[in-house]
Amino acid sequence: MNAAPLLEVQDLVKEFPRPRRGWLAPRVAPLRAVDGVSFTLARGQALGLVGESGSGKTTVARLVLGLERASSGSIRLEGRELTTLSRAEWRPLRRRVQLVFQDPAGALDPRHTALDCVAEGLAIQRLGKPRERRLRALELLVSVGLAPRQANLYPHEFSGGQRQRIGIARALALEPELLVLDEPVSALDVSIRAQILNLLHELQERRGLAYLFIAHDLAVVRALCPRIAVMQHGKLVECASRDELFARPQHEYTRALLAAAPRAR
Protein backbone atom coordinates (compact mmCIF):
# COMPACT_ATOMS: atom_id res chain seq x y z
CA MET A 1 0.00 0.00 0.00
CA ASN A 2 1.35 3.35 -0.99
CA ALA A 3 1.24 5.95 1.78
CA ALA A 4 1.27 8.94 -0.57
CA PRO A 5 -2.11 10.47 -1.41
CA LEU A 6 -3.52 9.62 -4.81
CA LEU A 7 -3.16 13.20 -6.00
CA GLU A 8 -1.04 15.87 -4.40
CA VAL A 9 -0.91 19.34 -5.93
CA GLN A 10 1.54 21.85 -4.49
CA ASP A 11 2.09 25.53 -5.28
CA LEU A 12 0.83 24.97 -8.78
CA VAL A 13 1.27 27.92 -11.12
CA LYS A 14 0.25 28.30 -14.74
CA GLU A 15 1.01 31.45 -16.65
CA PHE A 16 -0.14 32.26 -20.16
CA PRO A 17 1.76 34.87 -22.14
CA ARG A 18 -0.33 37.85 -23.18
CA PRO A 19 0.19 39.49 -26.55
CA ARG A 20 1.55 43.02 -26.58
CA ARG A 21 -0.89 45.64 -27.77
CA GLY A 22 1.43 46.58 -30.63
CA TRP A 23 5.02 45.79 -31.55
CA LEU A 24 6.36 48.92 -29.89
CA ALA A 25 4.22 48.55 -26.79
CA PRO A 26 5.86 47.51 -23.53
CA ARG A 27 5.91 43.87 -22.59
CA VAL A 28 2.81 42.73 -20.73
CA ALA A 29 3.07 40.59 -17.63
CA PRO A 30 1.81 37.05 -18.30
CA LEU A 31 -1.65 36.06 -17.12
CA ARG A 32 -1.53 33.90 -14.00
CA ALA A 33 -4.45 31.55 -14.61
CA VAL A 34 -3.44 29.35 -11.69
CA ASP A 35 -1.61 31.03 -8.86
CA GLY A 36 -0.08 28.85 -6.15
CA VAL A 37 -2.78 26.20 -5.80
CA SER A 38 -2.28 23.31 -3.35
CA PHE A 39 -4.57 20.44 -2.41
CA THR A 40 -4.53 16.70 -1.87
CA LEU A 41 -7.01 14.06 -2.87
CA ALA A 42 -7.08 10.61 -1.28
CA ARG A 43 -8.10 7.41 -3.03
CA GLY A 44 -11.85 7.08 -3.34
CA GLN A 45 -12.43 10.64 -2.21
CA ALA A 46 -14.37 13.38 -4.00
CA LEU A 47 -13.08 16.92 -3.98
CA GLY A 48 -15.25 19.70 -5.38
CA LEU A 49 -13.58 22.62 -7.10
CA VAL A 50 -15.91 25.60 -7.41
CA GLY A 51 -15.45 29.08 -8.78
CA GLU A 52 -16.78 31.33 -11.50
CA SER A 53 -15.66 31.01 -15.09
CA GLY A 54 -12.18 32.42 -15.44
CA SER A 55 -11.28 31.46 -11.88
CA GLY A 56 -8.76 28.91 -13.15
CA LYS A 57 -10.54 25.72 -12.17
CA THR A 58 -10.56 24.26 -15.68
CA THR A 59 -6.87 25.11 -16.07
CA VAL A 60 -6.17 23.15 -12.88
CA ALA A 61 -8.01 20.22 -14.45
CA ARG A 62 -6.02 20.47 -17.67
CA LEU A 63 -2.76 20.55 -15.71
CA VAL A 64 -3.74 17.47 -13.70
CA LEU A 65 -4.62 15.68 -16.94
CA GLY A 66 -1.30 16.62 -18.48
CA LEU A 67 -2.98 18.64 -21.23
CA GLU A 68 -1.07 21.75 -20.16
CA ARG A 69 2.42 22.10 -18.77
CA ALA A 70 2.73 23.77 -15.36
CA SER A 71 4.83 26.94 -15.13
CA SER A 72 5.96 25.86 -11.68
CA GLY A 73 4.86 23.78 -8.74
CA SER A 74 4.24 20.09 -8.51
CA ILE A 75 1.54 17.52 -9.26
CA ARG A 76 2.13 14.06 -7.84
CA LEU A 77 0.15 10.93 -8.57
CA GLU A 78 0.84 8.48 -5.74
CA GLY A 79 4.06 10.31 -5.04
CA ARG A 80 5.22 10.34 -8.65
CA GLU A 81 5.95 13.78 -10.07
CA LEU A 82 3.94 14.46 -13.22
CA THR A 83 4.97 17.98 -14.19
CA THR A 84 8.38 16.94 -15.47
CA LEU A 85 7.22 13.95 -17.49
CA SER A 86 7.67 13.76 -21.25
CA ARG A 87 4.76 12.87 -23.51
CA ALA A 88 6.01 9.30 -23.79
CA GLU A 89 6.28 8.97 -20.03
CA TRP A 90 2.75 10.32 -19.66
CA ARG A 91 1.19 7.79 -21.96
CA PRO A 92 1.00 4.81 -19.60
CA LEU A 93 -0.17 7.07 -16.77
CA ARG A 94 -2.96 8.60 -18.78
CA ARG A 95 -5.27 5.68 -18.22
CA ARG A 96 -5.18 6.30 -14.48
CA VAL A 97 -6.60 9.82 -14.78
CA GLN A 98 -9.57 10.28 -17.09
CA LEU A 99 -11.80 13.19 -18.02
CA VAL A 100 -15.56 13.61 -18.29
CA PHE A 101 -16.53 16.68 -20.29
CA GLN A 102 -19.34 19.15 -19.81
CA ASP A 103 -20.72 18.75 -23.29
CA PRO A 104 -21.02 15.08 -24.10
CA ALA A 105 -22.11 15.88 -27.66
CA GLY A 106 -18.85 17.62 -28.45
CA ALA A 107 -16.77 14.90 -26.84
CA LEU A 108 -18.12 11.94 -28.80
CA ASP A 109 -17.22 11.25 -32.42
CA PRO A 110 -20.51 11.51 -34.33
CA ARG A 111 -19.41 8.78 -36.77
CA HIS A 112 -18.86 6.19 -34.05
CA THR A 113 -21.54 4.10 -32.39
CA ALA A 114 -21.83 4.28 -28.61
CA LEU A 115 -19.98 0.97 -28.42
CA ASP A 116 -17.10 2.22 -30.58
CA CYS A 117 -16.87 5.46 -28.59
CA VAL A 118 -16.30 3.43 -25.43
CA ALA A 119 -14.03 0.82 -27.04
CA GLU A 120 -11.83 3.48 -28.64
CA GLY A 121 -9.85 4.18 -25.47
CA LEU A 122 -9.12 0.47 -25.06
CA ALA A 123 -7.93 0.32 -28.66
CA ILE A 124 -5.65 3.33 -28.25
CA GLN A 125 -4.04 1.69 -25.23
CA ARG A 126 -3.95 -1.61 -27.15
CA LEU A 127 -5.79 -3.47 -24.43
CA GLY A 128 -7.30 -6.83 -25.33
CA LYS A 129 -8.40 -8.23 -28.68
CA PRO A 130 -11.07 -6.34 -30.66
CA ARG A 131 -13.72 -8.85 -29.55
CA GLU A 132 -12.79 -8.49 -25.90
CA ARG A 133 -12.82 -4.73 -26.21
CA ARG A 134 -16.33 -4.77 -27.62
CA LEU A 135 -17.52 -7.02 -24.85
CA ARG A 136 -15.91 -4.81 -22.23
CA ALA A 137 -17.46 -1.69 -23.82
CA LEU A 138 -20.88 -3.32 -23.77
CA GLU A 139 -20.51 -4.15 -20.07
CA LEU A 140 -19.58 -0.55 -19.38
CA LEU A 141 -22.56 0.83 -21.29
CA VAL A 142 -24.86 -1.40 -19.28
CA SER A 143 -23.13 -0.39 -16.03
CA VAL A 144 -23.95 3.27 -16.70
CA GLY A 145 -27.61 2.47 -17.28
CA LEU A 146 -27.92 2.05 -21.06
CA ALA A 147 -29.64 -0.92 -22.67
CA PRO A 148 -27.53 -3.40 -24.69
CA ARG A 149 -29.68 -2.71 -27.78
CA GLN A 150 -28.60 0.94 -27.65
CA ALA A 151 -24.92 0.08 -28.09
CA ASN A 152 -25.07 0.35 -31.86
CA LEU A 153 -26.77 3.73 -31.98
CA TYR A 154 -24.90 6.92 -32.89
CA PRO A 155 -24.41 9.86 -30.50
CA HIS A 156 -27.11 12.00 -32.17
CA GLU A 157 -29.68 9.28 -31.48
CA PHE A 158 -29.27 9.76 -27.73
CA SER A 159 -30.57 12.47 -25.42
CA GLY A 160 -28.14 14.74 -23.57
CA GLY A 161 -28.32 12.66 -20.41
CA GLN A 162 -27.71 9.43 -22.29
CA ARG A 163 -24.75 10.96 -24.10
CA GLN A 164 -23.28 11.94 -20.76
CA ARG A 165 -23.69 8.30 -19.68
CA ILE A 166 -21.68 7.27 -22.75
CA GLY A 167 -19.03 9.86 -21.86
CA ILE A 168 -18.78 8.40 -18.38
CA ALA A 169 -18.57 4.82 -19.69
CA ARG A 170 -15.81 5.93 -22.01
CA ALA A 171 -13.87 7.54 -19.17
CA LEU A 172 -14.25 4.35 -17.11
CA ALA A 173 -13.04 2.02 -19.88
CA LEU A 174 -9.41 2.25 -18.83
CA GLU A 175 -10.26 1.69 -15.17
CA PRO A 176 -8.89 5.00 -13.95
CA GLU A 177 -8.36 5.74 -10.28
CA LEU A 178 -9.17 9.41 -10.71
CA LEU A 179 -11.93 10.99 -12.75
CA VAL A 180 -11.76 14.68 -13.51
CA LEU A 181 -15.33 15.81 -14.05
CA ASP A 182 -15.56 19.24 -15.67
CA GLU A 183 -19.12 20.58 -15.21
CA PRO A 184 -20.54 17.12 -15.95
CA VAL A 185 -24.19 18.03 -15.34
CA SER A 186 -24.46 21.72 -16.16
CA ALA A 187 -25.53 21.10 -19.78
CA LEU A 188 -28.26 18.65 -18.76
CA ASP A 189 -31.95 19.16 -18.17
CA VAL A 190 -32.87 19.55 -14.52
CA SER A 191 -34.81 16.28 -14.40
CA ILE A 192 -31.75 14.41 -15.74
CA ARG A 193 -29.15 16.03 -13.47
CA ALA A 194 -30.06 14.05 -10.38
CA GLN A 195 -29.97 10.81 -12.41
CA ILE A 196 -26.38 11.48 -13.45
CA LEU A 197 -25.34 12.55 -9.95
CA ASN A 198 -26.82 9.31 -8.64
CA LEU A 199 -24.89 7.34 -11.25
CA LEU A 200 -21.63 9.11 -10.34
CA HIS A 201 -22.20 8.40 -6.68
CA GLU A 202 -22.97 4.74 -7.33
CA LEU A 203 -19.90 4.30 -9.54
CA GLN A 204 -17.72 5.92 -6.93
CA GLU A 205 -18.93 3.55 -4.22
CA ARG A 206 -18.66 0.50 -6.43
CA ARG A 207 -15.27 1.23 -7.94
CA GLY A 208 -13.56 3.27 -5.23
CA LEU A 209 -12.99 6.13 -7.68
CA ALA A 210 -11.59 9.49 -6.69
CA TYR A 211 -13.28 12.53 -8.23
CA LEU A 212 -12.00 15.98 -8.92
CA PHE A 213 -15.40 17.53 -9.51
CA ILE A 214 -15.39 20.94 -11.15
CA ALA A 215 -18.55 23.00 -11.20
CA HIS A 216 -19.88 26.48 -10.68
CA ASP A 217 -23.09 25.24 -9.06
CA LEU A 218 -22.50 24.88 -5.34
CA ALA A 219 -25.63 22.81 -4.76
CA VAL A 220 -24.45 20.18 -7.25
CA VAL A 221 -20.94 20.06 -5.77
CA ARG A 222 -22.36 19.80 -2.28
CA ALA A 223 -24.38 16.74 -3.23
CA LEU A 224 -21.34 14.74 -4.30
CA CYS A 225 -18.27 16.12 -2.55
CA PRO A 226 -17.48 15.87 1.17
CA ARG A 227 -14.62 18.33 0.64
CA ILE A 228 -14.86 21.54 -1.34
CA ALA A 229 -12.22 23.96 -2.59
CA VAL A 230 -13.14 27.46 -3.75
CA MET A 231 -11.15 29.24 -6.45
CA GLN A 232 -11.10 32.90 -7.36
CA HIS A 233 -8.70 34.72 -9.72
CA GLY A 234 -6.46 31.66 -9.97
CA LYS A 235 -6.05 31.26 -6.21
CA LEU A 236 -7.53 28.68 -3.94
CA VAL A 237 -9.19 30.92 -1.38
CA GLU A 238 -10.76 28.29 0.84
CA CYS A 239 -10.72 24.52 1.17
CA ALA A 240 -12.84 22.87 3.83
CA SER A 241 -15.16 20.02 4.60
CA ARG A 242 -18.63 20.41 3.16
CA ASP A 243 -20.21 20.96 6.58
CA GLU A 244 -17.60 23.47 7.65
CA LEU A 245 -17.79 25.41 4.38
CA PHE A 246 -21.55 25.81 4.49
CA ALA A 247 -21.80 26.44 8.23
CA ARG A 248 -18.84 28.79 8.58
CA PRO A 249 -17.56 30.10 5.26
CA GLN A 250 -14.24 31.82 6.03
CA HIS A 251 -13.56 33.73 2.86
CA GLU A 252 -15.58 36.67 1.68
CA TYR A 253 -15.85 35.18 -1.79
CA THR A 254 -17.27 31.90 -0.47
CA ARG A 255 -19.91 33.90 1.36
CA ALA A 256 -20.73 35.75 -1.86
CA LEU A 257 -21.14 32.44 -3.71
CA LEU A 258 -23.45 31.12 -1.02
CA ALA A 259 -25.49 34.31 -1.15
CA ALA A 260 -25.88 34.08 -4.94
CA ALA A 261 -27.34 30.58 -4.89
CA PRO A 262 -31.12 30.26 -5.33
CA ARG A 263 -32.76 31.02 -2.02
CA ALA A 264 -34.22 28.25 0.03
CA ARG A 265 -37.98 28.42 0.31
Binding residues (CB under 8 A) for other proteins: these are 52-53, 159-162, 189-195, 197-198, 201-202, 216-220, 222-223, 246, 256-258, 260-265
Nearest alpha carbon to residue 61 among 73, 72, 75, 71:
75
Q: Please, what is the minimum distance in Å from the beta carbon of residue 245 to other proteins?
A: 11
Q: Closest CB to other proteins among 124 and 261? A: 261
Q: Please, what is the minimum distance in Å from the beta carbon of residue 10 to other proteins?
A: 28
Q: Closest CB to other proteins among 87 and 206? A: 206
Q: Closest CB to other proteins among 4 and 219? A: 219
Q: Closest CB to other proteins among 13 and 197? A: 197
Q: Closest CB to other proteins among 151 and 185? A: 185
Q: Please, what is the minimum distance in Å from the beta carbon of residue 148 to other proteins?
A: 18
Q: What is the distance of C-alpha 233 from the center of its chain?
A: 19
SS3 at position 23? coil
Q: Closest CB to other proteins among 38 and 186? A: 186
Q: Please, what is the minimum distance in Å from the beta carbon of residue 11 to other proteins?
A: 26
CB-hemisphere CA count at 13 Å for 156?
Answer: 2
Task: List the alpha helices (DSSP H) in the chain.
Answer: 57-64, 87-94, 104-107, 114-124, 130-143, 160-172, 190-207, 218-224, 242-247, 252-260
Phi first, then psi, for residue 52 (nearest 5°) are -75, 170
Q: Please, what is the minimum distance in Å from the beta carbon of residue 219 to other proteins?
A: 4
Beta bridge mates, 40: 8
Rounded Cα gap, residues 15 and 31, in angstroms = 5
Quote the crossing angle between the two packed helices 114-124 and 130-143, to the nearest 10°: 120
Q: Please, what is the minimum distance in Å from the beta carbon of residue 103 to other proteins?
A: 13
